[in-house]
Amino acid sequence: MVSPIIKEIRVKSVLSKSNLPVCEYSVNPYVGCTHSCKYCYASFMKRFSGHTEKWGTFLDVKQWVEIKNPKKYKDKELFIGSVTDPYNPQEEIFERTRALLTQLKDSGAKISIATKSDLILRDLELIKSFPDARVSWSINTLDENFQKDMDKAVSIERRFEAMKKFYNAGIRTTCFISPIFPGITDVKEIIEKAKKQCNLIWLENLNLRGDYKAVIMNYIKEKYPKLESLYKEIYYKRNLDYWIQLDRDLKEYSNKIGFDYVINDDSITRAFDAPPIIVNYFYHEKIKKSAVKGGVKNA
pLDDT tens-digit map of 81-117: 988 999 999 999 999 999 999 999 999 999 999 999 9
pLDDT tens per residue across span 149-173:
999 999 999 999 999 999 999 999 9
Q: What is the pLDDT of residue 40?
A: 87
Q: What is the pLDDT of residue 289?
A: 54
**For the chain, which residues score pLDDT lower than 70?**
1, 21, 42-50, 284-299
Q: DSSP secondary structure string, the chain?
A: -PPPEEEEEEES-SEEE---TT-SEEE-SEES-TT--TT-GGGGGHHHHT--SPTTSEEEEEEE---S-GGGGTT-EEEE-SSS-TT-TTHHHH-HHHHHHHHHTTS--EEEEEES-SGGGGGHHHHHTSTT-EEEEE---S-HHHHHHH-SS--HHHHHHHHHHHHHTT-EEEEEEEEEPTTT--HHHHHHHHTTS-SEEEEEE----THHHHHHHHHHHHH-GGGHHHHHHHHTS---HHHHHHHHHHHHHHHHHT--EEES-------TTSPPEEEE-SSHHHHHHHHHHTT-TT-
Query: Would you state the pLDDT for residue 53?
Result: 78
What global pTM score does this model have? Answer: 0.92
